[in-house]
Amino acid sequence: MADELGPAVAALQRKLDEQLRGVADTKRTINMLLKMSDQPPLFPEGEDERSGSVRSDQFYGKPFAASAAEYLTMRKQACQPDEILHALEAGGFDFDVAGWKDQRLRLVALALAKNTGNVGKFHKLNNGAFGLRSWYDADFLKKAASGAAEAKAQKVKKQKAKEKAVKAAAQAAAEAKPKLLKAPAKVKNHPETEQVVQSEERSA
């Protein structure tokens, strides 16, 4: 599905670039007219309307982490994995060379998550979005990491307790199950014994 939508996304990105260039030109013209009439500019100088768009070859030949970080820098905000995926596809990132031919969204999310933590480039928010770690307060990130580690430990503890309870219940059920009693073995009568019994019966 991602391969089928890639060309459409790229075409829309090109169209968006053209529209944003037109907006930027209009803003510059308004500022110029205001300046000619000795009035302050209405829009900030040097504002780039295309800060959230990408070129069709922007990420071609670049590593994944560098490409994702570059896109986030352009957006200046945390983004969901699917948004990062579509942006990289539109920017020419070669997922086939990276070996990501199937389940690209899942692989993108995993790659971002693996590059988090104290030495990682990214930080995952509670809503699932990823931002650059350098954007956030270091002390807060330590607290967040500590809370996440504690939550993970509690989850593992609960899982082990559940497994232990299930094992104990299965063992108790096995012990409570009545054992089947074996029928006594049939004693085989010997010919000599039968003769003695018959002789005693005749004597009586």
Q: What confidence tier does 183 reach under pLDDT thresholds 50, 70, 90?
A: low
191 within a domain of the structure (yes/no): no
Same domain, 31 and 124: yes
178 within a domain of the structure (yes/no): no
Same domain, 30 and 81: yes
Task: Name the pTM for this structure.
Answer: 0.53
Domain count, the chain: 2
65 within a domain of the structure (yes/no): yes
Asked whether the beta carbons of 21 and 50 are under 8 A apart, the reply is yes
Chain length of the chain = 204
pLDDT digits (tens, 9 = 90+) for 15-45: 777 787 778 778 888 888 888 888 888 877 6
Burial track 97-117 (b if 16+ CB lie within 10 A, e otherwise): eeebeeebbebbbebbeebbe
Q: What confidence tier does 200 reach under pLDDT thresholds 50, 70, 90?
A: low
Sign of the Cα pseudo-torsion (94, 100, 103, 104, in order): negative
Same domain, 28 and 127: yes
State the chain's mean pLDDT as an integer. 80
Local structure of residue 41 (DSSP, 8 states) = -
- Could you give the CA distance from residue 29 to residue 24 in angstroms, rounded to a whole number? 9
Same domain, 92 and 157: no
Same domain, 91 and 167: no
Residue 81 reports pLDDT greater than 90: yes
Element (H, E) at 107: helix 104-114
Q: Is 183 exposed, middle or buried (0-12, 13-18, 19+ CB in 10 A)?
A: exposed
Lowest-confidence region among 7-11, 101-105, 180-184: 180-184
198 within a domain of the structure (yes/no): no
Q: Tell me what pLDDT residue 203 has.
A: 61
Same domain, 96 and 74: yes
Same domain, 96 and 158: no
pLDDT digits (tens, 9 = 90+) for 144-154: 777 666 666 77
Lowest-confidence region among 78-82, 123-127, 156-160: 156-160
197 within a domain of the structure (yes/no): no
Backbone angles phi, psi at 131, to 5 degrees: -130, 175
Same domain, 117 and 161: no
Local structure of residue 134 (DSSP, 8 states) = G
Same domain, 155 and 75: no
Same domain, 128 and 144: no
Range of the domain at 165: 138-171
Q: What confidence tier does 105 reach under pLDDT thresholds 50, 70, 90?
A: very high
Same domain, 13 and 50: yes
CA distances (Å), 62 to each of 93, 122, 183, in order?
7, 17, 79
